[in-house]
Structure 1
């Protein structure tokens, strides 16, 4: 049971990815990033698909390098683990999940117009920026960049 008094029934839906990157389980998104279970499934699915597309586009050049090296799945790129999970896969999921949450916060702040929502919308920009930044950090880790800022000579 959640603090809202509604049961915590997590979605049992998996969004198929492109075959290289792992499929995304919506239940994991809800559990790990506290996405409220009362949000409609189609809204969560839509924003998750957008986040997957954004992340995959940002990683397109790196994916091409990995494929050229003979890897057919992200899971094969690096055997380093965190607990029982592959580190690169966890970073990819983090990128997608954080981007999804950022998109959802933007969407829900504009859907609800009550006074409470206006207060949330004021605080929402900071939350949105936080999650989008976390997604960007995870993408940078996948690209092999350990710092949050980099410079390139053109």
Structure 2
């Protein structure tokens, strides 16, 4: 078994979000999602921006409703607090972080196409599905919707 040390990430930055949504601190994203130095800051930034775009689009109607109620940003939306933070802030960050990591895993799976890499890719695909599910659940919780969608045929 070999050990390959990964370089620590350098000077992560913050993704500036639209005025309603919070900015995304890439160092916090990196820590929360256990992303080491193999994920470059450039890749992390690209993935985080994509995740923010996706989640913001999914929550656009909710945001417009909140703004029409006089809430200029997410911090002003009345919500329960857990650990000193709005549950909406926690759900939003969970959705963004999960989508960002899912995007990274999908992009890194094409890095190693050996048999060992393909096997690892199969394991990671389950992880991608779990991350996308967690993001979807966080968004649905913000919208006040059930986690289950059932349609009769």
| Preserved contact between residue 94 and residue 138 of structure 1 (Cα < 8 Å) | yes
Match of 1:102 in 2: 102
Q: What TM-score do the two structures reach when normalised by structure 2?
A: 0.89
* 2:35 corresponding residue in structure 1: 35
1:38 Cα deviation after fit = 2.3
In the TM superposition, what whole-angstrom CA distance separates every residue of 1:63-87 from its partner, at most 9, and x where no partner exists? Answer: 1100110111011112421112221
TM (norm. structure 1) is 0.88
Counterpart Cα distance in 2 of 1:37 and 1:86: 30
Query: 1:53 — aligned with what?
Result: 53
Distance in 1 (CA, whole Å) between partners of 2:110 and 2:5 is: 24
Q: Are 1:47 and 1:103, in contact at CA under 8 Å, matched by a contact in 2?
A: yes
Residue of structure 2 in register with 1:148 after alignment: 147
Which residue of 1 is the match for residue 26 of structure 2? 26
Task: Report how far residue 150 of structure 1 moved.
Answer: 4.2
Deviation at 1:12, TM superposition (A): 2.8
Distance in 1 between the 2:103 and 2:6 partners? Answer: 23
CA RMSD of aligned residues (A): 1.9
Q: Which runs of 4+ in 1 moved over 4 A?
A: 7-11
2:51–2:96 Cα contact (<8 Å) kept: yes
Unpaired runs of 5+ in structure 1? Answer: none
How much has 1:6 moved relative to structure 2? 3.6
5+ unaligned residues in a row in structure 2: which ranges?
none
Matched, 1:122 2:118: no
Structure 1's 4 and 10: CA in aligned 2 closer, same or farther, altered over 3 A? farther
Query: In structure 1, the residue corresponding to 2:109 is in which secondary structure?
Result: helix
- The answer to whether the Cα contact below 8 Å between 2:10 and 2:41 also exists between their aligned partners in 1 is no
Between the aligned partners of 1:53 and 1:126, the Cα distance in structure 2 is: 23
